[in-house]
Copies of this chain bind each other. A is one copy, B any other.
Amino acid sequence: MASALPFDDIRTLLNTMPGPDMEAANKARSREAVLTKPPGALGKLEAISEHIATWQGHYPPRADRTVVAVFAGNHGVVAQGVAAYPQAVTAQMVANFQNGGAAVNQICKAYDLGLKVFELALEQPTGDITQVPALSEKDCAATMAYGMEAIAGGCDLLCIGEMGIGNTTIAAALACGLFGGTGKDWVGPGTGVDAAGLSRKADAVNRAVALHGDHLKDPLEALRRLGGRELAAMAGAVLAARMQRVPVIIDGYVATAAAAVLFRADQTALDHCLFGHCSAEPAHKRLLQAMGKTALLDLDMRLGEGSGAALAAGVVKAALACHNGMASFESAGVSNKD
């Protein structure tokens, strides 16, 4: 393994990520202090504005061209009886996205967000991770590069989400491979498997992690062996956004598992990311905690497809509207404390 070149380009990017722009951060903090409200009274909305300025690297922060990128893939592991819906649903839901009928379409319309759908070789499911690696290194690196296209048209904020029957098992395997524990720690009902299905998921995760063994110590190897196309593409998108100074909102469990690959490669690699919501899929909270991250919203959602990230983008838009639009104590003639 790791003899071919493709992952080398990714490793180079991971070694040259831009850091926070403290000048933009300071400008945001200074402005928050003079706006017509008690200091800190907008809570996380203030932190959001500072975050966006810091990672856009300019001031004022903007979220006028927000893109929600949804990546869809299929998974060989469904042969292990881990999914509640047939694999055909992945392609059917892609058509639903394209026809405007899914939840994420409605949320994008409500908040004026752009939506891009990336269909990733749905007719070629990845290898069954309990038997073989999901992807070759070449395929994995190429899919990461394809995911980077999410920001190609230009945007100031990127939301990432996914669709893929069987991919909560993939997320669980990847989380287990990256952070340890056993299958039981990382699986959940997903789209709604029963107790027997849940047990099959945990077993599949345990077998996959045992099979790939020490290779999993390298996070990119873990991604290609235990991941899937939409996870590779999301990891690529998150990394490309960092390089181009586009802040990111991560969606639920599967998107977080994809992003966690970058975190395990470099603990600062997700510093430009917000976590849109905490999913009702139980292991999402565990995975966020493993990285020391907290989510903005907690609305018992567990749909994926970027829906939680898009909802959080609505909050980000309101936060920036406050930051950029509010009057100062001086301009409004409002008396300050003391």
Contacts and interface: CB of A to CB of B under 8 A. Distances in A.
Nearest to A192: B38
Interface residues of A, number: 62
A261 to B, nearest CB: 25
A92 interface: yes
Interface string A34-51: 011111111111000000
Contacts of A89: 334-335
Nearest to A37: B303
A12 interface: no
B322 A106 contact: yes
Given A42-B303, A301-B43, A101 B327 contact: yes
A122 B311 CA distance: 38
B37 A103 contact: yes
Given A42-B307, A43-B299, A299-B45, A321 B107 contact: yes
Please give me the 8 A-B residue pairs with the lowest Cβ-Cβ distance, nearest first. A101-B327, A43-B300, A106-B321, A41-B303, A38-B191, A106-B325, A43-B301, A44-B299
Interface of A: 35-45, 84-86, 88-89, 92-93, 95-96, 99-103, 105-107, 109-111, 191-192, 280, 296-303, 307, 310-311, 314-315, 317-318, 321-322, 324-327, 331-337
